[in-house]
Amino acid sequence: MIGLILLWLFAGIPKVMDIPSFSTQLKRMPYIGWMHSFIAVILPILMLAIAVLLAIPKLKLYGLYLSAGLLCCFTIYIAWTLLFSDHIPCSCAGIHADILWKDHVFITAIGLVLNTLAIWLEWKNIENLTHKYNKTLLRNDTPHLGI
């Protein structure tokens, strides 16, 4: 979980700190350049919101779902761009400028797999807690009100 929180903070904070530069970088991206202004504002906010949700225990599952959705979008976009785009710009709008696009799609795919595993583990944890709670309620040795 800490890894995902750090990932979203590391990806979101630099973009929030320099939205105009991030917007310029997005403008050069295939398929999404036309909506660079919108993405430049919404994406960093979403990244930071995911990090916050993941840090709050009661909201962690929502954060995991949003994180998985965003990682899925990134993975599909990068793979689509690698397969079908005539022009592949620098990866400077990504997490790190030195990461190649092929490496980036691999990293996001691994992140998506780990994120999905975290969702599964969270559901198992909720299931175990619910089972323990119900078992406690149904025990015969709990005091009754004599009704």
Residue, of 44 and 137, whose pLDDT is higher: 44
What pLDDT, in 10s, does the model give residues 15-43?
999 999 999 989 988 899 999 999 999 99
- pLDDT at res. 86: 83
CB 67 within 8 A of CB 115: yes
| Residue 47 belongs to domain spanning | 2-138
**C-alpha distance from residue 27 to each of 116, 125, 128 (Å):** 31, 43, 47
> Mean pLDDT, to the nearest integer, of 88-111?
73
- The pLDDT tens digits for 62-83 are 999 999 999 999 999 988 988 8
What rounded mean pLDDT belongs to the chain? Answer: 86
pLDDT at residue 90 in the model: 63
For residue 94, name the pLDDT band (cuts at 50, 70, 90): low
Written as one letter, the residue type at 73 is: C
Q: Is residue 30 included in any domain, yes or no? A: yes
Q: Cα(95)–Cα(108) distance, rounded to whole angstroms?
A: 10
Q: What pLDDT is stored for residue 133 in this prediction?
A: 67
Reported pTM = 0.80
Q: How many domains does the chain have?
A: 1
Residue 32 lies in a domain: yes
DSSP three-state, residue 7 = helix
36 within 8 A of 23, measured Cβ to Cβ: yes
Tell whether 145 is covered by a domain.
no
pLDDT value at position 97?
Answer: 59
